Amino acid sequence: MSGAASGILQACMDCLPAGGAALHEPTFGGREREYLRECIDTGWVSSLGAFVNRFERDLERLTGAAHAIAVVNGTAALHLCVELAGVETGDEVLLPTLTFVATANAVSYCNAVPHFVDCDATTLGVDAVKLEQYLEHSADLRRDGCYNRATGRRIRALIVMHTFGNPAELDALVTLCRRFNLTLIEDAAEALGATYRGRPVGNHGLLSALSFNGNKIVTTGGGGALLTNDLALARRARHLSTTARLNTASGFEHDEVGYNYRLPNLNAALGCAQLEQFSDLLERKRALAERYRAAFVIVKEASFFSPVAHAGSNHWLNTCLLAQDDAGHRDEILKALNRHGIQARPAWTLMHHLPMYCDCPRMDLAVAESLERRIVNLPSSAHLMPAGGLQPERHLV
**The domain that contains 139 carries what CATH number?**
3.40.640.10
* pTM score of the predicted model: 0.95
pLDDT tens per residue, range 5-31: 999 999 999 999 999 999 999 999 999
Domain count, the chain: 2
pLDDT band of residue 397 (cuts 50, 70, 90) is: very low
- Beta strand 154-161 with 183-187 is parallel
- Do both 206 and 298 map to the same domain? no
Task: State phi, psi for 145 to the nearest 5 degrees.
Answer: 140, -165
Question: pLDDT class for 388, splitting at 50, 70, 90?
Answer: low
8 Å CB contact between 265 and 210: no
166 & 256 share domain = yes
- Examine the fold and report which residue of 276, 294, 327 is the final residue of a domain before the chain moves on: 276
- Whether residues 203 and 218 share a domain: the answer is yes
pLDDT-above-90 percentage for the chain: 94
Q: At residue 349, does pLDDT exceed 90?
A: yes
Q: What is the mean pLDDT of the chain?
A: 96
Whether residue 391 has pLDDT greater than 80:
no
Stretch 186-195: mean pLDDT, rounded? 98
Which residues, 6+ apart, have CB-to-CB distance to 133 below 8 Å?
none
Both 196 and 294 in a single domain?
no
- 95 and 200 part of one domain: yes
Together in a domain, 262 and 310: no
The pLDDT value given to residue 111 = 98
* Model confidence pLDDT, tens digit, residues 325-348: 999 999 999 999 999 999 999 999
The last residue of one of the domains, among 276, 311, 330, is 276
* Distance in angstroms (rounded) separating the CA atoms of residues 67 and 229: 6
- Among residues 288, 289, 218, which one has the least CA distance to residue 28? 218
Examine the domain organization and report whether 19 and 42 are in the same domain.
no
Q: With residue 184 as reference, give the H or E element that holds it.
A: strand 183-187
Q: What pLDDT shows up at residue 137?
A: 97
Domain range spanning residue 340? Answer: 3-23+278-344+379-384
* Residue 201, domain member (yes or no): yes
pLDDT above 70 covers a percentage of the chain that reads 97
In a domain, 397, yes or no: no
What pLDDT, in 10s, does the model give residues 261-300?
Answer: 999 999 999 999 999 999 999 999 999 999 999 999 999 9
Within this chain, do residues 257 and 285 fall inside the same structural domain, yes or no? no
For residue 209, give the amino acid letter: A
Report the distance separating Cα 138 and Cα 143, nearest Å. Answer: 17
Query: What are the tens digits of pLDDT across the range 217-255?
Result: 999 999 999 999 999 999 999 999 999 999 998 889 999
**Exposure pattern of 165-178 as b/e (b: 16+ CB <10 Å)?**
bbbbbbebbbebbe
Nearest of 65, 63, 100, 69 to residue 84 by alpha carbon: 69
Q: 354 lies in a domain?
A: no
In a domain, 372, yes or no: no
Q: Are residues 294 and 272 in the same domain?
A: no
Q: Of 307, 336, 335, 310, which Cα lies nearest the Cα of 321?
A: 307
Clarify whether residues 194 and 312 are in a common domain. no
CA distance 133 to 31: 51
Q: How far apart are CA 217 and CA 311, in angstroms?
A: 18
What pLDDT shows up at residue 167? 98
144-153, 197-206, 249-258, 325-334: segment of lowest average pLDDT:
249-258
Q: Are residues 50 and 92 in the same domain?
A: yes
The pLDDT-based confidence of 394 (bands split at 50, 70, 90) is very low
Q: Which residue, of 227, 261, 276, is where some domain finishes? A: 276
* pLDDT tens figures, 35-72: 999 999 999 999 889 999 999 999 999 999 999 999 99
Q: For residues 294 and 134, what is the distance between their CA atoms, to the nearest angstrom?
A: 38
242, part of any domain: yes
